[in-house]
Amino acid sequence: MELLTYPNKILEKKSESVEKIDANLLKLAADMKKLLKTIDGIGLAAPQIGKNTRLCVVGYYYKDKDDNKKAKEDSPDIPELILINPEITWKTKKQIIEKEGCLSFPGIEYNIARPEKLHCRYINQQGKKQKIKARGLMARALMHEVDHLNGTLIKDRKIQ
Ligand SMILES: [Zn+2]
């Protein structure tokens, strides 16, 4: 699995909704989660590995001294999640401006405004509808990943 970087055209295409959760989709999600654990990021969207499918993974991992990757215990704000067809259903008008990077823009960070809090609806691997309330870094991560599924990238959001 290869991580695509800008200006790959796939990154700017709107992704298709998942109609059926089958073995292929679950394999793709598992592979994305595995890849995320090996890189320094908190989220990965399917277009970043060449699939225009509305699927993303989030999670906060770090490398411990034995070189194992595991979820960072002191960061409960970023739970390990696989999100299928995620949708932002509510967000605060209040936005927070912070530096934000993207695995598809290596070494680049832009100032980007994101809502302070939001609600996100998605389908989990079992096909169940879920809703989460997020704030801060998690809200930023979810906005970032949903942007990817719409073909919107950090260069489109940057504040001068
Ligand atoms: Zn990104």
pLDDT of residue 77: 65
Q: Is residue 75 part of a domain?
A: yes
Q: Give 101 Cα–ligand 1 centroid separation in angstroms.
A: 7
pLDDT at position 63 = 55
Is residue 160, in this structure, part of any structural domain at all? no
Inside any domain, residue 92: yes
How many domains does one find in the chain?
A: 1
Give the model confidence (pLDDT) of 89-119 as tens digits.
Answer: 999 999 999 999 999 999 999 999 999 999 9
Q: Report, as residue numbers or ranges, the catalytic residues.
A: 145
Residue 107 within a domain: yes
Q: What is the mean pLDDT of the chain?
A: 91
Cα 105 to ligand 1 centre (Å): 8
CATH number of the domain where residue 69 is located = 3.90.45.10
pTM listed for this prediction: 0.91
Q: How far apart are the first and last CA of the chain?
A: 34
Q: Is residue 157 part of a domain?
A: no
What tens digit of pLDDT does each residue of 134-155 get?
A: 999 999 999 999 999 999 999 9
Give me the domain span that covers residue 133: 9-152
